[in-house]
Chain A
Amino acid sequence: MSIMQYNGGCLVGMKGKNCVAIASDRRFGVQALGLSTNFQRMFSVNNRLYYGLAGLGTDVQTLSEKFRMSVNMYNLKEERDIAPTTFASLVSSTLYERRFGPYFSEPVIVGLEKDDTPFICAMDLIGCINFAKDFVVTGTSSEQLYGMCEALWEPDLEPEDLFETISQAMLNAVDRDALSGWGAVVHVITPTQVITRTLKGRMD
């Protein structure tokens, strides 16, 4: 029984051409018992920066509240929006502060930088940042997601194509994991808008 597999759930983030996408499943359960089909594990920092947290449910919620607090203070003091790389550092240092009693949660961050360059990264539970060039995965079905992404992802996908790619990667990966699935949500972020779609997947 690993604490990171107690509640289940997974996330994937991908880079496209002048866009990024992030997707998560919606299952929340206690080991084998599924309890919720609409657990929120993705959050928005602003309309150009989204992040998701996989792992223990209570830490997902507490961390999202902590980040909301920190980002609010940042916005008030700096009088500007927080940049993706800066937010990633904020998440990393918040996690490392608890190096010897960590939050059991592994984040994925996606966004657009000031000049609209796509940005994605993921971290382990103590804040080691992985600045990927293509895609990032986390959660109980991370291995499956790695396989699907490696097979389906190609560089410079347009927003609509990126949506299809990330959706197929998510839906098929979670079908091979008992603790993930029960629906999925995808956010596609472009310089002009954010499109959010809920996927229809297997509810078993």
Chain B
Amino acid sequence: MARRYDSRTTIFSPEGRLYQVEYAMEAISHAGTALGILADDGIVLAAEKKVTSKLLEQSASAEKVYVLNDTMACAVAGITADANTLITYARQQAQQYLYTYSEEIPAELLVQRMCDLKQGYTQYGGLRPFGVSFLYAGWDSHFGFQLYHSDPSGNYSGWKATCIGANSSNAQSILKQDYKETGITLANAKSLAVKVLAKTMDSTTLGSDKLEFATVSKGNDGKIAFHLFSAEEIDQLLKDENVAQFQEEDS
């Protein structure tokens, strides 16, 4: 019954649904988990890499976490190729704003630009929507550190902690329980992120080859710093949280 209405993105089904958008979200639910946690002094972005192989050239570009400009970064879940296109678009929009106003683009505004683009693909052109969800971690002088989530429909909202991709509902409920409303530091956020990933990831062992971990925070010089953790740093973090070798714990 749905078949008649899902070949074109730009039309509603009789029940008032946009099937292509829903199918896009379905694609994302099979992608590697990505989560973001907002702290008072920064934001943590952590993600599970799905494409892992000993043959993969690890030092080459990131798969899940990307820098957008000097004050913002994002994590993706979904079709990586779609994500790359959107990230290039976001970067261009951010630079165009900087060129026009000589100010860095406010975080929510960049999210809106992306969402306006994504929404267009659900209403015009007859092209399929982007099969990607984003978690944006950014800072601006108006609202400080912020975390946003956007989906293929072009909808977005601000979050204190959230998760996208596989097992995201699982992770979301753990975050709901464990996230402290006030007084959360970046260090707290990092350990919470590791704990949640350890509990929800598909693989039995957590290792630095399967994780991408990054923080957005303010450096001592007052400038916003994006720090993508190296393999050694991730291993250290996992060790600190006692989740390094799952099989070592006789649980």
A binds B: yes
- Please name 11 further chain A to chain B contacts, defined as beta carbons within 8 Å, in addition to the given A65-B102, A66-B99, A72-B69, sorted by A numbering: A65-B99, A68-B98, A69-B96, A69-B99, A72-B70, A72-B98, A73-B95, A76-B67, A76-B68, A76-B69, A77-B91
Which residues on A are within 8 Å of B, measured CB to CB?
65-66, 68-69, 72-73, 76-77, 79
What count of chain B residues pass the 8 Å CB interface test?
13
Q: Tell me the total A-B contact number using a CB cutoff of 8 A.
A: 24
Residue ID in chain A nearest B67 by CB atoms: A76
Candidates B61, B68, B95; contact of A69 at CB < 8 Å: B95
CB distance from A103 to the nearest CB of B (A): 15
Assess the B91–A69 pair: CB atoms within 8 A: no
Assess the B67–A69 pair: CB atoms within 8 A: no
Residue ID in chain B nearest A62 by CB atoms: B99
The 8 A-B pairs with the shortest beta carbon distances in the complex, nearest first, are A69-B95, A69-B99, A76-B91, A65-B99, A72-B95, A73-B95, A76-B67, A73-B91
Contact partners of B67 in chain A: CB under 8 A? 76
From A66, A68, A73, A79, residue with most partner B Cβ within 10 Å: A73
Contact partners of B69 in chain A: CB under 8 A? 72, 76
Assess the A68–B99 pair: CB atoms within 8 A: yes
Contact with A along B101-123 (1 / 0, CB 8 A): 01000000000000000000000
Contact partners of A65 in chain B: CB under 8 A? 98-99, 102
**What's the Cα separation between A69 and B69 when bound, in Å?**
11
Decide yes or no whether B92 CB sits under 8 A from chain A. Answer: yes
Contact partners of A79 in chain B: CB under 8 A? 61
**What's the Cα separation between A69 and B68 when bound, in Å?**
13
From A66, A73, A76, A77, residue with most partner B Cβ within 10 Å: A76
24 pairs of residues in contact across A and B, judged by CB atoms under 8 Å: A65-B98, A65-B99, A65-B102, A66-B99, A68-B98, A68-B99, A69-B95, A69-B96, A69-B98, A69-B99, A72-B69, A72-B70, A72-B95, A72-B98, A73-B91, A73-B92, A73-B95, A76-B67, A76-B68, A76-B69, A76-B91, A77-B88, A77-B91, A79-B61
